[in-house]
Amino acid sequence: MLISLASVAWGQSRKKDAPKEKAPLLSGVGVGVDLCGLAMKGVGARFANMEICGRVGLKEKFFPIFEIGIGDCTRYGGETTNIFSTRAPYWRVGMDYNVNKKVNGNRFLVGVRYGFTTFNYDFYSPDFVDPVYGTEMPLTLEGQKGNYQWLELCVGFETRLWNIVRLGYNIRYKTQTTQSCSALGTPYFVPGFGKNDSNTFGGSVYLTFDVGKSAGLKGGKTLFGKHKKKKEETESKEKKMSSTEDAPRAAKRRGN
């Protein structure tokens, strides 16, 4: 019993003393583009947010990120002939945290963003009815100003496709914090936020080029497992070379 207890305790101490997977402080710098916004623009959606991002990886855990893009919308009223349009830039700043404990190229990310935009929007109604005289006349409101700020909570997943190329997606819950717009009418669409409301959901699919030490971490796996195969092949070649080199030396020692 004493021997078995000692062996169990020794095994547990070895597990505790086993080296943990580590990543460098500056694990990489990434630049990405949102494929979802480009696809929405390509298929002619009512609105689209087209953006790029830049981020820094710290210890493969913390990822400060900056996102910048252009929100574009041209909305034709279904029941009326009204037209709303806007096109303006927006900015987001925040951080993602990788909850995956293993350094294997896959990242399970949770994060937060702060978004801001200042934009102009236009409203046009060709069949506007005058409320006093009851006559129809066109109404044009151009250059109405809006200013919006909001917060986002993000959950996503990211993996390495090949070498420095990574692919990931996230789902975002957005809630407005401060807003101001023209007294003549609220905008239908807010660049970077989406359809104007107190809160909404969104998402993005990012193709990212991650340059730095994270691209060459030991144990890192790609989606297709190519790095692992290459590592096994090189190790087997090294063993074969060492065995062939040691055979003549062993023969000399035996006197053959």
* pLDDT tier at 146, thresholds 50, 70, 90: very high
Using the predicted structure, report yes or no on whether residue 122 has a pLDDT greater than 80.
yes
In this predicted structure, what is the pLDDT of residue 249?
Answer: 57
List pLDDT tens digits, range 64-78: 999 999 999 998 876
Q: Does position 203 have pLDDT exceeding 60, yes or no? A: yes
| Confidence at residue 245, expressed as pLDDT on a 0 to 100 scale | 54
Residue 140 — pLDDT band, cuts 50, 70, 90?
Answer: confident
Sorting pLDDT into bands at 50, 70 and 90, what band is 230? low
Q: What pLDDT is recorded for position 103? A: 81
Query: Is residue 15's pLDDT more than 50?
Result: no
Among 37-41, 57-61, 137-141, 233-237, the minimum mean pLDDT is found in 233-237
Confidence (pTM): 0.71
Whole-number pLDDT of residue 115: 96
Per residue, the 3-state secondary structure of the chain, as one string, reads: CHHHHHHHHHHHHHHHHCCCCCCCCEEEEEEEEEHHHHHHHHCCCCEEEEEEEEEEEECCCEEEEEEEEEEEEEEECCCCCCEEEEEEEEEEEEEEEECCCCCCCCEEEEEEEEEEEEEEEEEEEEEEECCCCCCEEEEEEEEEEEEEEEEEEEEEEEEEEECCEEEEEEEEEEEEEEEECCCCCCCCEECCCEECCCEEEEEEEEEEEEECHHHHCCCCCCCCCHHHHHHHHHHHHHHHHHHHHHHHHHHHHHCC
Is residue 194 scored above 60 in pLDDT? yes
- pLDDT-wise least confident of 33-37, 103-107, 135-139, 170-174: 135-139
Closest C-alpha to 95, from 58, 49, 149, 50: 58
Over residues 88-109, the pLDDT tens digits come to: 999 999 999 999 988 888 999 9
Q: Which of 22-26, 96-100, 104-108, 138-142 has the lowest mean pLDDT?
A: 22-26
Q: Report the chain's mean pLDDT, rounded to a whole number.
A: 80
The full set of domains in the chain, from first to last, is 22-72+87-119+149-236 (2.40.160)
Query: Could you identify the residue written with the tokens 């807010």?
Result: 190
